[in-house]
Copies of this chain bind each other. A is one copy, B any other.
Amino acid sequence: MTQNLQNYESLKPLFNPQSIAILGASESPYKIGHLQIRALIDGKFKGDIIPIHRTAKEIAGLTCYPSLADVPGEVDLVIFCLGLEQIKEGLEACAAKNVKAAIIFASGFSEAGAYGEQLQQELGQFAKTHGIRIVGPNCVGLVNTENGLIGTFTPSFLTVPLDGQRGVGYISQSGAFGVLTYMAAAQHGINFNYFVSTGNEMESSFEDFMEYMVHDPQTNIISGYLEGAKNPEKLKALSKESLQKNKPILLMKTGKSSAGSRAAASHTGSLAGSDKIYDAFFKQHGIIRAEDFDDVIGFTKLFNPNKLPKGNNTVIITSSGGRGINEADRCEAHGLNIVELSAETQAAIQKSLPDYASTTNPVDLTAAAMVSNPEFYLEPLKVLVNDPEVHNIIFTDFPYAWDENSPQLQEFIELSKASDKVIGLFPFPLDGMTYPKATKALVENGIAVVPCNLNPVRALKKLVEYSEAYRQSSITSLADYRQPHAVLDDLLVSGETLSEAQASEVLARYDIPTTERRIATSLEEAVEHATAIGYPVVLKIDSPDIPHKTEADAIRLNVQTPEEVSQAYVEIVKNARSYNPEARVHGVSVQEMLGEGVEIIIGAHNDSTFGPVIMVGLGGIFVEVFQDIAFKVAPINRQDALNLLDELKGKSILHGARGKTPIDTEAIVDVLLKVSALMIDHGEQIQELDINPLVVYEKGIRAADAMLVVKEQQVIRQAMEG
């Protein structure tokens, strides 16, 4: 916590400087060193602007100084309008002057090859040593619209209106996309309080700026454009803190598609990680994923009135049947429920509407409402605000007749203000035609007005998800990570693929139920083991070098008699030899034959971004053909484990599809938590683990086979150094 506030305090000079010096100030109106000064002046920066110029006395009416050292008072922030080769000298001057913050636009650093990479590391280290917080390099800069700090040479920021709603802190790993989003939001009435283009993150990272905003009282929503998380642990801690403060984190993570990942990797050099794991991580920690720039606008508008939706049940009120159906299609496509209204509610609505209006959801007031009977818009609202089954109310249009002075509009607003339901107007996007005269009054009174092509329905669904995450965070945590811990050093040999028996031993040490198995190294021993275990049995080759036993024809199921055991033993050894003459063979594993149950797969691997990741899927063909799997980042708690199962498309199989008895999902949860504990304890050594199949019964569970690959020591060392 102290650590956290330290970051916040030390970033203050960057966001809230009293004085800004411009290194590389220029008299030429087309140069960055001039554009930057103009931007601060035009942005009405509330503090001193100090151009540094060797010879000029004055630029744009401001007194110049020949060097930083010559500036009489303190300088909080320095903006570098300098090229690559002058950055070092500039930073040294900052250190000498005790400057605590800098913005660096220059490119040519880590994005441009080895020389730039080296220089960036050096300068980053220098800045850290001298306590200088830095935005950039290779960035568009930083903007604080609260104090007029337009810390960027891009004049676009000043071309959009500044009279919109506030509260959003926005951080972008893409300069251009960030600027475009800032401007689009402003054109739609949302002004970001802060805009940060993080660039190469030489000293301060995406997560550092997030942390600032989590602690900043003026930020209500933290949003951003993320290409790759560099510090997922910090992201996780921040998301928890932010959720407790009811500050949604809304991130657009690009590189969803394979091509996108390709570009993301080459664009920033951050390890992009698999998109599915990002999805899992975001969901686990209550981070809302923006699908596109418009989600930032829609979500903010819907969140601002400070009413968190109680659920998915949504009612559409329209004057056009067609628009109503269209909006209903959109709602259901995004997972909102167009709730069937109760007979009482319908009757109550019907009372004050003509017969030809439709009181089913979508409620169709008919064109008369728009043209001659604006009061129709009030009637269903009066009823719906009192229906506990209704969580969200969407209007597709609004009466032309109501302006800010209409008593009916006032009544509409009073009804809305008194209600805890989310109320939105999602009009068709026709400039100056379909928006109501009283839009301003509606917005000021907590009714979100978002044109339907900005996807407000999708944003509403995201707000529902956020509300759910927020509620879950405020109830007592169900987390329970206490699990057995075990020493595995004897088993986890660098670079090895463990034999089935070894992998099963790993599971057994974590109390995961496995089949009874004994290794036979002779025919006689095999028969002995089979008799001890009890018929029928299974025989399999046990070799770290033959992970795919079926392929090697080195497995026999349902072996019934001593004679069959002998025959199976001979065949298995022979087939294994001919499959791989070099294979190290520990013997033949004699195992109990498991009864029929539902086969699932539980796996784990080490993700390059997020570390240990847990996977669950339905077994066999379901994984292979339908890819019906779900992921969570370890460690997972009980709720995570339940959510994992709930995310499977074929989950009904667990709950007894086709008239079968439900299987022991508690046993699956137990294994998931144990695998999570195993991966947290030994994830640095384990490359990947597959328990496949894991057979689940009405009561109980058994791992029938397992595969475990140990990381190569070198890889581990590199990872620890990296």
A50 interface residue per 8 A CB criterion: no
Q: How far apart sit A256 and B333, CA to CA, in the bound complex (Å)?
A: 9
User: Interface segment, A127-135, A178-186, A560-568, A588-596?
Assistant: A178-186
Collect the chain B residues with CB atoms within 8 Å of residue A178's CB: 322
| B367–A323 CB distance below 8 A | no
Q: Are A177 and B649 in contact (CB under 8 A)?
A: no
Q: What are the residues of chain B within 8 A of A440 when measuring CB–CB?
A: none
Contact B257 A111 (CB under 8 A): no
**Residue in B323, B329, B431, B657 whose CB lies within 8 Å of A255:** B329
On whether A254 and B326 interact (CB within 8 A), knowing A319-B176, A621-B657, the answer reads yes
A329 contacts B254, C-beta separation under 8 Å: yes
- Tell me if A225 counts as interface (CB < 8 A to partner B): yes
- Whether a CB of chain B sits under 8 angstroms from the CB of A360 is yes
Min CB gap A318→B, angstroms: 9
Q: Is A364 an interface residue (CB 8 A)?
A: yes
CA distance A184 to B294 in the complex (A): 19
Question: In chain B, what residue has the closest Cβ to A356?
Answer: B112
Given A267-B321, A325-B227, A625-B650; A257-B332 close (CB under 8 Å): yes
Q: Does A47 contact B (CB under 8 A)?
A: no
Say whether A657 contacts B624, CB under 8 Å.
yes
Give CA–CA (A257, B174) in the complex, Å.
Answer: 37
Q: Complex: how many Å from CA A495 to CA B260?
A: 57
- Contacts A259-B361, A260-B326, A267-B358 known; 16 new A-B pairs at CB < 8 A: A107-B356, A159-B433, A174-B320, A180-B428, A183-B430, A184-B430, A254-B326, A260-B329, A266-B358, A267-B322, A267-B324, A292-B326, A292-B453, A453-B453, A621-B657, A626-B650
Question: Which residue of chain B has its CB nearest to the CB of A397?
Answer: B176
Pair B266/A433 contact, Cβ less than 8 Å? no
Contacts of A227 in B (CB 8 A): 322, 325
**Selected contact of A264 from candidates B255, B325, B428, B649, CB within 8 Å:** B325
User: Min CB distance, A153 to chain B, in Å?
Assistant: 11
A322 to B453, CA, bound (A): 22
**Structural contact, B320 and A658, CB atoms closer than 8 A:** no
- Chain B nearest CB from A158 CB (Å) reads 12
* Residues of chain B with a CB closer than 8 A to A292's CB: 326, 330, 453
- The reply to whether A263 and B430 contact each other, CB–CB distance below 8 Å, is no
Chain A 286-300 interface residues, beta-carbon cutoff 8 Å to B? 292, 294
Q: A429 on the interface (CB 8 Å rule)?
A: yes
Q: Are A266 and B430 in contact, with the CB atoms below 8 A?
A: no
In the complex, what residues of B have CB within 8 A of residue A266's CB? 358, 360
Interface presence of A331 (CB below 8 A): yes
Please tell me if the beta carbons of A364 and B658 are within 8 angstroms of each other in the complex: no
A367–B325 CB distance below 8 A: no
A332 touches B624 (CB 8 A): no
Assess whether B256 is in contact with A332, with CB atoms less than 8 Å apart: yes
Compute how far the CA of A626 lies from the CA of B256 in the bound complex, rounded to whole angstroms.
Answer: 24
On whether the beta carbons of A431 and B187 are closer than 8 Å, the reply is: yes
A254 touches B325 (CB 8 A): yes
Determine whether A258 belongs to the interface, using a CB cutoff of 8 Å to chain B: yes
Min CB gap A460→B, angstroms: 15
Asked if B652 contacts A263 (CB within 8 A), the reply is: no
A625 to B329, CA, bound (A): 24
Residues of A323-341 whose CB lies within 8 A of B: 323-326, 328-333, 338
A262 adjacent to chain B (CB < 8 Å) = yes
Residues of B within 8 A of A652 (CB): 625
Neighbour of A267 across the interface among B174, B364, B625, CB < 8 A: B364
- Which residues in chain A, 502-535, are within 8 Å of chain B measured between CB atoms? none
Q: Does A434 contact B (CB under 8 A)?
A: yes
The answer to whether A328 touches B259, judged by C-beta atoms less than 8 angstroms apart, is yes
Distance in angstroms from A294 CB to nearest chain B CB is 6
B112, B328, B429, B649: the one contacting A260 at CB < 8 Å is B328
Contacts of A625 in B (CB 8 A): 649-650, 652-653, 657
Contact: A257 with B328, CB < 8 Å? yes
Q: Report the separation of the CA atoms of residues A157 and B184 in the bound assembly, to the nearest whole angstrom.
A: 28
Top 7 closest pairs, chain A to chain B, by CB = A174-B322, A259-B338, A257-B332, A177-B322, A176-B320, A267-B321, A254-B325
Determine if A547 is an interface residue (Cβ-Cβ < 8 Å).
no
- Report the Cα distance A624→B651, complex, angstroms: 12
Cβ–Cβ contact A326 & B433, under 8 A: no
Residues from chain B with a CB closer than 8 A to the CB of A360 are: 262-263, 266
A373 on interface, CB distance cutoff 8 Å:
no
Contacts of A328 in B (CB 8 A): 257, 259-260, 263
Expressed in whole angstroms, the minimum distance between the Cβ of A343 and any Cβ of chain B is 15
A649 touches B621 (CB 8 A): no
User: Hey, which chain B residues are within 8 Å of A232, CB to CB?
Assistant: none
Bound-state CA distance A107–B268 (Å) is 61
A183 contact set on B, CB distance < 8 A: 430, 433
Are A260 and B626 in contact, CB atoms less than 8 angstroms apart? no
Taking CB atoms and an 8 Å cut-off, the chain A residues in 631-670 that contact chain B are: 649-650, 652-653, 657-658
CA distance A112 to B358 in the complex (A): 11
User: Which chain B residue has the least Cβ–Cβ distance from A272?
Assistant: B325
Roughly how many angstroms separate A626 CA and B627 CA in the complex, as a whole number? 12
Q: Is A445 an interface residue (CB 8 A)?
A: no
Known: A184-B430, A625-B650, A650-B626. A325 touches B156 (CB 8 A): no
Q: Report A161-187 CB contacts with B as 1/0, cut-off 8 Å.
A: 000000000001111111010011001
In angstroms, Cα B180 to Cα A319, docked, is 13
Residues of A427-466 at the interface with B, using a CB-CB cut-off of 8 Å, are 428-431, 433-434, 453-454
Q: For the complex, what is the distance from the CA of A367 to the CA of B356, rounded to whole Å? A: 58
Question: Which one of A174, A322, A430 has the highest number of Cβ atoms from chain B below 10 Å of its Cβ?
Answer: A322
Flag whether A248 is at the interface (Cβ < 8 A).
no
Contact B626 A649 (CB under 8 A): yes
**Docked pose: A650 CA to B625 CA in angstroms:** 6
Check B325–A434 contact: CB distance below 8 A: no
Within 8 Å of chain B (Cβ to Cβ): is A33? Answer: no
List residues of chain B with CB within 8 A of the CB of A267: 321-322, 324-325, 358, 364
* Cross-interface CB contact of A653 among B173, B258, B263, B621, cutoff 8 Å: B621
Instruction: Flag if B621 contacts A325 (CB, 8 Å).
Output: no
Nearest B residue to A431, CB-CB: B187
Contacts of A260 in B (CB 8 A): 325-326, 328-329, 332, 338
Taken together as a complex, chains A and B put the C-alpha atoms of A701 and B331 apart, in Å, by 43
How far is B176's CA from A108's CA once the two chains are assembled, in angstroms?
55
- Do A326 and B177 form a contact, CB below 8 Å, given A257-B333, A360-B262, A362-B263? yes
